[in-house]
Amino acid sequence: MEPVSDVEASAFAARFACDFQSFDEDVPWRRAEVLREVLADVQACTWGWSGAGRQRADSPLPGRLYRRSDTVVFVEVVVRATPYVRAGTAPEADDSAVSAAEHSGLVEPAGTIGRSCAPPESAAVWTAVEPRWVRMTVPVTRAAEDGRLVVDPGLLTGPTGNETGGGR
């Protein structure tokens, strides 16, 4: 299996951290759908969120790396998380809901590599409150079946190996 480089792990972990820390109770299925695509264990797609509230994470800053092997890298990531408080009435639940982009016929920009579950920065029924910085450790590896990068929360239970500094 191809080794995971430090740069590749950092970028993937930053993307994941923003989606993991983003959610919207008005569209609760979106987060699970997006996380399923990047997790080694799809059952972990509901971890880390109670299903209530709204939060948007951005500005990921990958930091220290710990390498367990050529294909397992733990990346510490800090993201800015902006929580929201409800300022209006929740919309009616609609199981057939699709995004505004799908309704408007917007074309995905070239280079798009995947969806994000981060809610829009503004919404009529939500008001942003003071953001905060959140740190998390993201375990990045390759999927055995196809070699794509995935996050495997199960790797967090063992030793993390040595800290590394330079790129691979």
- Reduce the secondary structure of 30-77 to three states and give it as a string: HHHHHHHCCECCHHHHHCCCCCCCEEEEEEEEEEEEEEEECCEEEEEE
Give a yes or no: residue 131 inside a domain: yes
Give a yes or no: residue 20 inside a domain: yes
Task: Enumerate the β-bridge partners of residue 23.
Answer: 55
Report yes or no: 157 and 58 within 8 Å, Cβ to Cβ: no
Distance between CA 32 and CA 42 in Å, rounded?
A: 9
Query: Rounded to 10 degrees, what is the CA torsion of 86, 25, 35, 12?
Result: 0
Buried b or exposed e, range 84-101, using 16+ CB within 10 angstroms = beeeeeeeeeeeeeeeee
CATH number of the domain to which 29 belongs: 3.10.450.540
pLDDT at 104 over 70: no
Give a yes or no: residue 1 inside a domain: no
pLDDT at 46 over 60: yes
Report yes or no: 161 and 66 within 8 Å, Cβ to Cβ: yes
**CB count, 10 Å around CB of 55?**
21
- The per-residue pLDDT for 149 is 97
pLDDT at 100 over 60: no
List the domain range (segments joined by +) for residue 99. 6-164
Give a yes or no: residue 15 inside a domain: yes
Distance between CA 39 and CA 9 in Å, rounded?
A: 14
Give a yes or no: residue 159 inside a domain: yes
Please name which of 95, 86, 98, 97 lies closest in space to residue 124, comparing C-alpha atoms: 86
Distance of alpha carbon 17 from the chain centroid: 4
- The per-residue pLDDT for 164 is 47
Domain total of the chain: 1
Average pLDDT over residues 106-111: 76
- The per-residue pLDDT for 109 is 76
